[in-house]
Amino acid sequence: MNTDGNVLASSITRKRRLVMPASADSPIKPQVKKIDGLSIRYAESEPREVSAILLSPWPESLYTFEQMWSRLAEHAHLVAIDLPGFGHSQRRDDLLKSSTMGEFVAHAVEAFELARPHAVGPDIGTSTLLFTAANHPGLLRSVTVGNGTAAVPIQIGSVLKDAVDAPNLDALRQIDPHQGVDSVLAFVEHYKLPEHVHQDFLDSYEGDRFAESIRFVRSYQDELPTLRDLLPDIQTPVQIITGDHDPGVLPVNGQYLHERLPHNKHDHLDAGHFAWADAADDYARLLIDWWNGGYERV
């Protein structure tokens, strides 16, 4: 299988880059753990009785949770990870689709010895975590998803649709990765990314990493029909948080899940795609209410 050559060719430099915190003032302190033979960047908070695993969205990294970190850490032991091929975690090409990434998450839960954690996965984490919940009943205490592609037929805006429908990645490989990342981050409406967070996002997709990460969303055509058939049987409680004017992943994706998942709660925020950034206070409140018993009432 293909692996990220930059990681293998310069492991010492790469490891230093993975571990180094982007800011001494940040509550997030990145570390590296080997999972399934891959170097996975993660951060965790102090132990608590209940745990939560947080999956970074695309094209961001675990620093996307910085705004909410201290507040969420009062309620759960947090483990945030950059999924393989995203953020600063090593890539393996067979994991760049929802179903196999869902299996990886199950392995990560085991590797961190988390006992029935809550799981949070906006954006690409949506289909990933739903596959995890479908194929590993009882592994996760609950799942929070949203602003992620799920509907069949695919319901996405024109910018993302161009990437999904492109005949191959050749044109995308010609894009400067910094410009590619910033073209997506342009949809952040109100939150001004701290410089260390913005730089970490840019560094996460250097070289071919931005173009190759798009393989994940390009796999939706094949993956989502399979997920559609699994949704009615998922017994894990699911919280769906939807930015109500997302121009990239259209809000109908949240409604699609709400109509098909047997145990779910659908919350709407006055936000676009990056609801977790632009409405972080409300997003954190919804998560905390859900963790503190909301998941048991659906």
In the chain, where the domains are located: 5-297
Contact 164, 154 (CB under 8 A): yes
What pTM, to 2 d.p., does this model score? 0.92
- pLDDT for residue 8: 33
- Identify the DSSP state of 156: B
Fold that domain 5-297 belongs to in CATH: Rossmann fold (3.40.50)
Contact 189, 274 (CB under 8 A): yes
Asked if pLDDT for residue 9 goes beyond 70, the answer is: no
Q: Count CA atoms closer than 13 A to 265's CA, side-chain side.
A: 17
Tell the burial category of 188 from Cβ atoms under 10 Å away from its Cβ (0-12, 13-18, 19+): middle
pLDDT digits (tens, 9 = 90+) for 206-261: 999 999 999 999 999 999 999 999 999 999 999 999 999 999 999 999 999 999 99
What is the predicted pLDDT for the residue at 252?
Answer: 98
**pLDDT value at position 4?**
45
Sequence letter at residue 149: T
